[in-house]
Structure 1
Amino acid sequence: MHEKLDEIQAIHDQQLRWGFRALIIIGFFAVLISLSRASVVGWKNIMALHIGIYLIVVATVLLERYFSFSLRASLLIGMIFILGVSGIAAWGLAGFGIPALIISCVLCTIFFGFRAGVVSAITSAVCFALISMAFRFNFLSLDFDPNIYLNSTSAWAAGFITIVLSVGLVVISLGTISNKLSELIIKLDQRNHELLGLNEKLLEEIQERERLAQEKSALQTKLRRAEKMEVVANVAGGVAHDLNNVLAGAVGYPDIICMKLPPDSPLRESLEKMKKSGLKAAAIVSDLLTLVRRGLVIRKITNINLLVSEYLDSPEFEKLKSYHPDVEFETFRDENLWNMEGSPIHILKTIMNLISNGAESMSGKGKLTLTTRNQNITKAFPGYNGEITPGEYVVLEVTDTGSGMSPEDMENVFEPFYSKKVMGKSGTGLGMTVVWGTVKDHDGHIEIQSKEGQGTSISIYFPASRKEIVDSETLPNLEDYRGNGESILVIDDVPEQREVAVELLTTLGYSARALPNGETALQYLQDFPADLILLDMIMYPGMDGLDTYKEIARRYPSQRTIIATGYCETERVKQAQKLGCGNCLVKPFTLEKLGKTVKSELTSKRLL
C-alpha cells in the first residue's frame, strides 16, 4: 500500500515539475506579450505582476530541491490563481483570466484531492462573481479600448499561446495520470492474480493440513488400539505359558492311567472327561496364543466352505441353536469358492466366533446369514484394520439383524473381554479378539458395516490361493508311536512337566530321564549320551532353551533335539531351529501328540 502511494506521489511530483517548466514557457511568452501590449495600450500594473510572478517561477524551478512538494504545488496553483484573478480584473473577459482559474482548479484537484479542488473551484467562482459585480457597478473598468486591443496582433497571439499552453498543460497532466493509472491497474491486476494463486496454494495447504490431521488422528487411534492390544497380549502370553504348564498333568495323566487300566474299567469314562476338560482349557490357552499372534500355526491349503460345513455339523453349533431358538440361520456358499492357505483350526474358530457373536446380538427373533464368495479387488478401499489392497480374496461374511453397534462398540469390538454377551453362554470374552488375531496372522482384512437397531455385517477378506487341497495322511494307531528303549533326556524347569513327560515317554517304551536346567544337562551329557533331547524353551533361572541348544550343538553336532514350549513360537525358537533343532511340541501335549513327534524325529534323516 505504501509503495502505491509513493508511486502516485512520484507521478504528482513529475507533473509539478512539468507544470513549472510549462509556466516558464508560458511566462516567457506572457512577458513578451505584455511588452507588446504596452506598446498598444500603454504600461499597466498587471504587466509588472506578470514579470514578478515569472521571476518567482524561475526561482522556484532553480531551487526546487530545497522546497517540499506541498510548497511548490501551492506556489504553482497560487500564482496561476493570481494571474487568473488579476487578468480578469485588468482585462475582463478579453484576457486569459478564465483559463487560468480553470487550470488552477484542475491542478489543485490533481495535487491535493477532490476536496481541495472543490474549495478552489468555489473560491474561483466567488472571485469571478465579485469582479463581475465590480465591473457591473463601475467599481472596476477597463482603462483601454477593447476594440483596439482585440484588433491587435498581440491580443490574438496572447490568446492563442494561452489556450495552446494551458490546454497542453491540462492534457499532459491528465494524460500522465491516465497512463500511470493504467499502469497501476495492470500492476494491481497482476497482483490480484498473484494473490489468487497464493490463495489457492493456501487453500491447498489448509486442505493438506486437514488431511494430515485426519491421518494423524486415525494413526493415533490405531496406535492406541495397538498399544492396548499389545499390553493385553503380553499379559495373555505370560498367562498362556503358565496355564500350559499347569495343564500338563490334567491332559497327560489321564492317558497314562488309561494305558494301565483294563479296557472295561469304569474309570475310563471319568478319565476321558477329565482329559476333555483339560483340552478345553488348552483351547482357551490357544485363544490367548492367537491373541498374542505368536501361536504355533500350521498352515495348509484349505477351503472355507469345508470349514463352514464342519462347524454347522458340530455339537457346538447345535448347542448355539438351542440357546437361540428364534434365530433363523441361513447360508449362501459359492460352489466355486477359491482355496486359501492358512490354519484350519483358527479359521474354524473365526467362523464359530462370528456366528456366535451375531446370534448373541439378537435377543428375540432374527436372522443370521453366512455368505462365502470370491472377490477380485482391483482398487484399494478402506477397511476396519486399514486399507484393503488389490488382489484375489476369499470373503467370509456374517450378517445379522440384531441390535447393531454404536461408534464406541465399533471402536472396541475386537478388544479382549469387551463383550455384552450373557455370562455362561458366550465363552471366554476373547472370541472377537481371536478373530482379529487370526485375520492379522493370515494377512487378511476386516470390513464392518453396522447401525444401531439395524444389525451388523462383518466381512473377512482372506488372500486366495490357486493351489489344490492335499488329502490328509491317515494317522497311525498308538502302537506305531511306541519306542524300543531309546534314551530320551527331558530338560524342563517345571517339576510337573518333567514328571508328566517322563511318565508318558516311559509308557511309550522309551528310557526317559529328566533334568531341571541346561547347565545340569550339559554335565549329564558328558557321561550319558541321549538318543533324543526334549528341551523346554523358557527356563528360569540360568540358560534358556536357545542358549542350551547352542552349547549342545557346539559340543554334539549330531544330537537330535525337539523343543517343547508352553508359550509360543518366538524368534528364539526359530533361531534354534535354524541351528538344527527339530520339531516344536506345544504344551500341554497328549500321549498321542508326544509319541508322534518323538517317533518322527527319531526316524527322520538328519543332515550332518
Structure 2
Amino acid sequence: MDSFIDSRHAWPIGGGETGELVRRLDWSQTSLGPIESWSPHLRFEVNTLVNSPIPKVLMWGPDHVMIYNDGYIAIAGGNHPRALGGTVPGIWPEIWDWNRRVLEEGFRGTVQAFRDQPMTLMRNGVPEAVMFDLFYTPIHEVDGRVGGVLCTVLENTDRVRAQRELARSEAELRIITDAMPVLVAFLDHGHVYRFANRYYEAWFGLDPAEIVGRHARDVLGAEAYADRLPLLERALKGESVTSDGWLPHRDGGRRATEIRYIPRLSHSGMVEGIHVLVFDVDERTRTEEALRRHAEDLERSVRHRKRAEDQLRALNETLEARVVAAIDERRQAEAALAQSQKLETIGKLTGGVAHDFNNLLQVVSGNLQLLQKDIAGQERAERRIANALAGVSRGAKLASQLLAFGRRQALEPKVVNVTRFVRGMDDLLRRALGEGIEIETIFGGGLWNTFIDPTQIENALLNLAINARDAMEGQGKLTIELGNASLDDAYARANVDVSPGQYVMLAVSDTGSGMSPAVMEKVFEPFFSTKPEGKGSGLGLSMVYGFVKQSGGHVKIYSEVGHGTTIRLYLPRALEAEDVEVRIADLPVVGGAETVLVVEDDAEVRETVVEMLRDLGYRVLKAVDAQSALSVVESGVPIDLLFTDVVMPGTLKSPELARKAKERIPGLAVLFTSGYTENSIVHGGRLDPGVDLLSKPYTREALARKIRHVLANEAQRRRVAAAPPISDETLPTVDEAEDAPAPARRSFTPRTVLLVEDDELIRANSADMLQDAGHVVVEAASAEDALVALETAPIDVLVTDVNLPGMSGPQLARKARTVKPGIGVVFATGDASVPDAEGAIVLSKPYGARELDQAVCRATETSSAELS
C-alpha cells in the first residue's frame, strides 16, 4: 500500500469519481503537500475512504483539508468538485463556527455523534434547511498524534420532514376519529400500533399514548391476537378484510365486534401497514343469538310433536316461518340503520368541510367584487373578474351540494304542482340529455301537490336525468313517472327513517347498464362515482338523498346489472293550493354611515368584509372573537350594528355575545353570518324566530340590502319603545284633516288592513297604531299566512315588510293583486328602492302612527284612482 512510482498511475486506490480526482489533483497547492509526500497512514485512510459506499469526508491537518468519497458528492451539491482538496471554512463558511468547535474536540481525540442535527447550507447557491446524523472519529498518525478527523454523514432531511408531516396528519386524524364511537388504529408490518384513537381508552382502559408502540398481542391478549392473526396477514398482503369476531373488554367480558382491516399502500403500491376499524355489534349479536335459540327451541318442539295432528304441525310450521321472517326483517332493518348512521356521520363531516369552504369562497368573492370597481372600463380585466366570479359561483354550488347531503341547508319550501313543474322542465331536460335519449313522461291522475323547495327539486331531477344519460352512454330511453303513493306502517318498519303517510312519487328510470349491489350500497355517499376521472364530482346523488331526507321524504333505488336503474323520490304531500313563483329584480345597493362591529375569527374573511363595508360608507370596528368583541362593546364606543359569525372560538358563543351586547347597548341591531346553517340559531333547516342571518358566501349587494333591512327594523323597534301611548289627542281632528294638505289628509272611513311583518314587536305596535286610527287589522307573520288571510277576509289595504322569510313582500303584493285587484299596497322597509313598487306606497322605517295612517289612506286613494 505504501509504495508507488507515479501518483497518477500507481496510486493503490479504488475507482469512482472521487478516487480518480484524488489521483489527478495537484495536492502541492494544499497544506498536505505533494501526494508523494503523504504518509503511509494517510494513504491508507484515503484508500479506505474512497472505497466506502457510505458518505464520508476526511478533514486532514491543521487547515482541515477535505478528502471525500463518491457518497459525499450528493452532500457537497454544487460545491463539488472544488470541495475536494478545499478547506472546511473555505467551502462551508455558513457552518464553520459550529464545525470549528467540533473539529477542535476531534483533534483532541474525542469521538462525537450528533443525531438529527439541523443545519442551513449553501450547497447549491441558496439557503437550504437540512438534517444530518454526524459521526466524528479522530484519525491518528503512526506517532499517535491526531492527523485528521473522519466524518460520516447521513442525510435525514426527507425522513424528518416525512415524520413531521405524518405527525401533522395524525393530529388531524385524531381530531376526527376521537369523536367516533369506533376503534380506529394503524398497525405496521410488525403488528405494532402506530396510531390509536380515544375510544381505545373506553374499550380497553388504556390511554392511546400507552397503546402506540405496543404489539397487538399485548393490547388484545394472546387468545384474541391468535384469532385475528390470519386476517392480519391477509391484509398485509394487500387484501381488504372484514370479519365478525370478538374482543376482550375492560369490564372483564367479551364483546362481539365487526372488524375491518384496510391495507395502506405507498405511492409505489407497497403495503405500508393496516388501518383498523372495530365496530361494537355486541347488542345486535345477543339479539340474534336469542332469536336463534328461540328458533331452535321451536324446532325441538316440532320434533317432539311429530305425531301430533296435522293442524298443530301446520301451526308450528307457520310460527317457525314467522320467526325466520322476523329475523330477516330485523337484519334488514339493522343493515338499513347502519347505512343511515354511516351517511349521517359522513354528513356531519361534509357539513364542516362546507363551512370552511364557504369562508374561503367569501374571501375570494369579496375581494373580486371590490376589485371590480378598480378595473371598471378595462374590458379584458372585467371579463376575467367575471370568469373568476363564475368560478366562485360553481364553488358555492359545490358547498351547497355538501350541505344538501348533510341535511344542513336552509330550505325555502313552497307548495308545488309536480305535473306542471316536470312539464316546465321538458325543454331543459331534452337539451341536457341530447337527441340520442328518448324521454317518456307518465302522469298519474289526480296528482297531489307537494311541499318542497322548487330550486332543489329541479336540481335533483336534472341530476337524476344526467346520471341516467351517462349510464346509457347517450343512447336509450329515460322514463319519468309521477303518481300518488301511500307508504304504510309495514313499509316504514322495513325502511329506516321513513314515516308512514301520503307522498307524491317521482320516479326516473333508464335502460342503462345498471348497478351491482356493492355499488348500490355506496351510491348515495358523497364523492363516490363510477364515472371516469374528471367526468363527475360524485355529489349529484348524495345531494338528492340529503335534500329529500331533509324535506321529510324518502329515496328508494332499484337496479340490476344489465337491466337499468329506477330511482324513486317520495315527496311529502301538501294539502294547500300551489304557490305560483314570482321572480323580482335585485334591489339597488344602498350603503350608510352607521358604525358596524365585525366579529370574525378568520383573518382573510374579516379583512374582506371590513373593506366591503367601508366601501359602502360605514364606519367599521373589528374583533377576532366574541370575548374581544364584548370588550369593544364595554369600552363605550358607539355601535349601531353587530355583524358576527355564528361559529366562533372560545367559551363565549355568538348568540350569548349578541344578548350581552344588546344589554349594554339598548337598540343595537344584530346580524349573524355563517357558512354552515346547522348551529345555535338555525334548527331543522329553518332560522330561529327573531334572528337575522346572511349566509356565506354573500355578494356585496346582498350584504348592503341585509344591513339596511336589519338597521331599519331596529330603528322601528326603538321608535316603538320611545313613542308615547297613542291617544285620540295624537290624531288630527276633522277640521285639522280638512285643512291639511292633500297628502296628509286622513280618511275616517275604517279600512280592513292586512299587516304582514315577521318581527313580533314591530307587528304588535303597528297593529295598535292602525287600530287606534280606527282601522280593522288582520295580522300575519309571513307571506304564506297572509295569502290564507286574503282568501278568508275582505282586505282593503296590504301593509307588508319587503324582506320576509320565504316569499318576499313584492311577491306577496303581486299575488294579492291577483286575488283582489283593487287592494291598496304599502311597503314598509328600510330601503326606499323597492322593485315592482308601481302603484304602491313606500313607507320608510322607522315610522310613527301618523306616517302609517297617512300611508294607508294614500294607498286606498291610489287603488281607488286606478279602478276608476
TM-score normalised by structure 1 residue count: 0.60
Aligned equivalents of 1:246, 1:561: Cα separation in 2: 23
1:505 matched to 2:617? The reply is no
Instruction: Tell me which residue corresponds to 1:516.
Output: 624
Match of 1:394 among 470, 489, 504: 504
How far off its partner does 1:244 sit? 0.8
* 8 A Cα contact 1:517 1:542, kept in partner: no
Instruction: Tell me which residue corresponds to 1:290.
Output: 404
Instruction: Tell me which residue corresponds to 1:341.
Output: 451
* 8 A Cα contact 1:446 1:458, kept in partner: yes
Deviations 1:32-88 (CA, angstroms, capped at 9, x unpaired)? xxxxxxxxxxxxxxxxxxxxxxxxxxxxxxxxxxxxxxxxxxxxxxxxxxxxxxxxx
* 8 A Cα contact 1:380 1:387, kept in partner: no
Letter in 2 for 1:413: V
* 8 A Cα contact 1:294 1:568, kept in partner: yes
Letter in 2 for 1:321: L
* 8 A Cα contact 1:485 1:510, kept in partner: yes
1:570 matched to 2:690? The reply is no
* 8 A Cα contact 1:291 1:433, kept in partner: yes
* 8 A Cα contact 1:377 1:391, kept in partner: yes
1:381/1:573 CA distance change after superposition, 3 Å: closer
Aligned equivalents of 1:283, 1:309: Cα separation in 2: 25
* 8 A Cα contact 2:450 2:571, kept in partner: yes
Deviations 1:550-605 (CA, angstroms, capped at 9, x unpaired)? 43344446432121111223245459x99875222211111122222222222235
1:413 matched to 2:523? The reply is yes
How far off its partner does 1:266 sit? 3.4
* 8 A Cα contact 1:366 1:400, kept in partner: yes
1:404 matched to 2:514? The reply is yes
Q: Which has the higher strand share?
A: 2
1:356/1:473 CA distance change after superposition, 3 Å: closer
Q: Secondary structure at the residue paired with 1:356?
A: helix
Aligned equivalents of 2:444, 2:312: Cα separation in 1: 56
Q: Which has the higher helix share?
A: 1
Matches within 5 A, 1:249-288: 249-262=363-376, 265-288=379-402
1:313/1:505 CA distance change after superposition, 3 Å: farther
1:378/1:489 CA distance change after superposition, 3 Å: closer
1:530 matched to 2:629? The reply is no
* 8 A Cα contact 2:515 2:560, kept in partner: yes
1:440 matched to 2:554? The reply is no
Matches within 5 A, 1:474-513: 475=584, 477-479=586-588, 481-513=589-621
Matches within 5 A, 1:216-235: 216-235=330-349
Aligned equivalents of 1:574, 1:412: Cα separation in 2: 28
Aligned equivalents of 1:554, 1:219: Cα separation in 2: 51
Instruction: Tell me which residue corresponds to 1:321.
Output: 433
How far off its partner does 1:493 sit? 0.5
Instruction: Tell me which residue corresponds to 2:221.
Output: none
Match of 2:414 among 288, 291, 300: 300
Instruction: Tell me which residue corresponds to 1:104.
Output: none
1:489/1:401 CA distance change after superposition, 3 Å: same
Aligned equivalents of 1:256, 1:313: Cα separation in 2: 38
Aligned equivalents of 1:313, 1:509: Cα separation in 2: 45
Q: Secondary structure at the residue paired with 1:459?
A: strand
1:237/1:579 CA distance change after superposition, 3 Å: closer
* 8 A Cα contact 2:464 2:541, kept in partner: yes
How far off its partner does 1:470 sit? 4.1
Aligned equivalents of 1:241, 1:447: Cα separation in 2: 29
Aligned equivalents of 1:431, 1:193: Cα separation in 2: 61
1:212 matched to 2:326? The reply is yes
Instruction: Tell me which residue corresponds to 1:350.
Output: 460
Match of 1:463 among 549, 557, 572: 572
Letter in 2 for 1:463: P
Aligned equivalents of 2:500, 2:377: Cα separation in 1: 57
* 8 A Cα contact 2:506 2:570, kept in partner: yes
1:369 matched to 2:479? The reply is yes
Aligned equivalents of 2:653, 2:542: Cα separation in 1: 30
Aligned length: 410
Q: Secondary structure at the residue paired with 2:577?
A: coil
Aligned equivalents of 1:420, 1:251: Cα separation in 2: 32
* 8 A Cα contact 2:369 2:700, kept in partner: yes
* 8 A Cα contact 2:448 2:484, kept in partner: no
1:511/1:264 CA distance change after superposition, 3 Å: same
Letter in 1 for 2:632: Y
* 8 A Cα contact 1:381 1:389, kept in partner: no
How far off its partner does 1:389 sit? 5.9
Unaligned 5+ segments in structure 1 are 1-190
CA root-mean-square deviation: 3.3
1:288/1:265 CA distance change after superposition, 3 Å: same
1:564/1:254 CA distance change after superposition, 3 Å: same
Unaligned 5+ segments in structure 2 are 1-304, 718-760, 763-868
Matches within 5 A, 1:117-196: none
* 8 A Cα contact 1:564 1:586, kept in partner: yes
Q: Secondary structure at the residue paired with 1:266?
A: helix
Aligned equivalents of 1:192, 1:335: Cα separation in 2: 55
Aligned equivalents of 1:452, 1:364: Cα separation in 2: 18
Instruction: Tell me which residue corresponds to 1:603.
Output: 712
Match of 1:561 among 639, 664, 670: 670
Aligned equivalents of 1:379, 1:544: Cα separation in 2: 44
Matches within 5 A, 1:23-42: none
Instruction: Tell me which residue corresponds to 1:83.
Output: none
How far off its partner does 1:418 sit? 2.7
1:430 matched to 2:539? The reply is yes
Identity %: 30
1:242 matched to 2:356? The reply is yes
* 8 A Cα contact 2:469 2:475, kept in partner: no
Letter in 2 for 1:451: E
Aligned equivalents of 1:279, 1:197: Cα separation in 2: 71
1:440/1:258 CA distance change after superposition, 3 Å: same
Deviations 1:130-187 (CA, angstroms, capped at 9, x unpaired)? xxxxxxxxxxxxxxxxxxxxxxxxxxxxxxxxxxxxxxxxxxxxxxxxxxxxxxxxxx
Aligned equivalents of 1:387, 1:285: Cα separation in 2: 25
Instruction: Tell me which residue corresponds to 1:54.
Output: none
Aligned equivalents of 1:466, 1:403: Cα separation in 2: 39
Letter in 1 for 2:549: K
Match of 1:548 among 657, 668, 676: 657
1:389/1:245 CA distance change after superposition, 3 Å: closer
Aligned equivalents of 2:620, 2:329: Cα separation in 1: 59
Letter in 1 for 2:709: S
How far off its partner does 1:482 sit? 0.9
How far off its partner does 1:272 sit? 1.2
